[in-house]
Chain A
Amino acid sequence: AQSVTQLDSHVSVSEGTPVLLRCNYSSSYSPSLFWYVQHPNKGLQLLLKYTSAATLVKGINGFEAEFKKSETSFHLTKPSAHMSDAAEYFCVVSYFNKFYFGSGTKLNVKP
């Protein structure tokens, strides 16, 4: 069975400080993993994806994620938060092209 656990439902950081959004996955197969962002009343936007190439994946807007098979983790990071990063972030595992979403992490960025 495929599943994703996002360990924090809410994360609050100050502008200019690092962001860490945690994600652990469970997959019977070599997974494809994604991070999506959803701004309020907006659609889903792909941040980055891992598909068994380099374990450190760079995405848009300065985000990156590292695939750690030994820890079954795919945490999302950004060195310096910006106010525009405030949104909800979803970690997703893909199995035969079907997406299984984590419960989401709401990121709040304080000025």
Chain B
Amino acid sequence: SAVISQKPSRDICQRGTSLTIQCQVDSQVTMMFWYRQQPGQSLTLIATANQGSEATYESGFVIDKFPISRPNLTFSTLTVSNMSPEDSSIYLCSVVGDNYGYTFGSGTRLTVV
């Protein structure tokens, strides 16, 4: 399976600031996704990161709040903008490759104070 490096692994941020999370994959992947896991809850899909075009967002998520970049087939970033305590969550990237299926990153644990 692919190896995903997600950075940072955790952070504590002030409300009103923004944090950019990076997802680096060791091989080219067809599809990349971003998920959120709020405390004590299940995972929710935020968006599909599309290479060379704008991300596709799920219901309830918007680009102004969660801008996503995907400049190539091995890298993507998710920014959590203008953070509030309600954004405290674990954020995970996931990839799908032609040869190995699905892999999740280890996640970024974000605390907003």
Q: Which residues of A contact B (CB under 8 A)?
A: 34, 43-44, 46, 49, 90, 94, 97-104
Which chain B residues lie closer than 8 Å to A44 at the CB level? 43, 92, 104
Residues on B with beta carbons closer than 8 Å to the beta carbon of A102 = 42
Is A43 touching B96 in the complex (CB atoms < 8 A)? no
Q: Which residues of A contact B43 (CB under 8 A)?
A: 44, 90, 99, 101
A97-B96, A98-B48, A103-B42 are contacts. A46–B102 as well, Cβ < 8 Å? yes
Please determine whether A99 and B33 come into contact, CB atoms closer than 8 angstroms. Answer: yes
Contact A90 B45 (CB under 8 A): no
| B42 interface neighbour in A43, A90, A97, Cβ under 8 Å | A90
Q: Chain A binding site: helix, strand, loop or mixed by DSSP?
A: strand
Q: Are B44 and A43 in contact (CB under 8 A)?
A: no
Q: Is the CB of A103 within 8 A of B41?
A: yes
A19–B33 CA distance with the chains assembled, in angstroms: 32
Identify 16 residue pairs between A and B in the complex whose beta-carbon atoms are under 8 Å apart, listed by A's number: A34-B102, A43-B92, A43-B105, A44-B43, A44-B92, A46-B102, A90-B43, A97-B96, A98-B45, A98-B48, A99-B33, A100-B45, A101-B44, A102-B42, A103-B41, A104-B42
Residues of the B chain whose Cβ atoms lie less than 8 Å from the Cβ of A49 = 101
Interchain CB contact under 8 A, A99 and B42:
no
Contact between B41 and A99, CB atoms less than 8 A apart: no
**Nearest CB in chain B to that of A42: its residue:** B106
B101: A residues at CB distance < 8 A: 49
* Other A-B pairs beyond A43-B107, A44-B43, A97-B33, 17, CB < 8 Å: A43-B92, A43-B106, A44-B104, A46-B102, A49-B101, A90-B42, A97-B96, A97-B102, A98-B45, A98-B48, A99-B33, A99-B35, A99-B43, A99-B102, A101-B43, A102-B42, A104-B42
B77 in the interface, Cβ–Cβ < 8 Å? no
List chain B residues, Cβ under 8 A from A100: 45
In Å, the complex CA distance between A97 and B107 comes to 19
> Nearest-CB distance from B22 to chain A (Å)?
17
Query: Among the interface residues A90, A97, A103, which one has the most CB atoms of the partner chain B within 10 A?
Result: A97
Residues of the B chain whose Cβ atoms lie less than 8 Å from the Cβ of A101: 42-44
Which residues of chain A are within 8 angstroms of B41 by Cβ–Cβ distance? Answer: 103-104
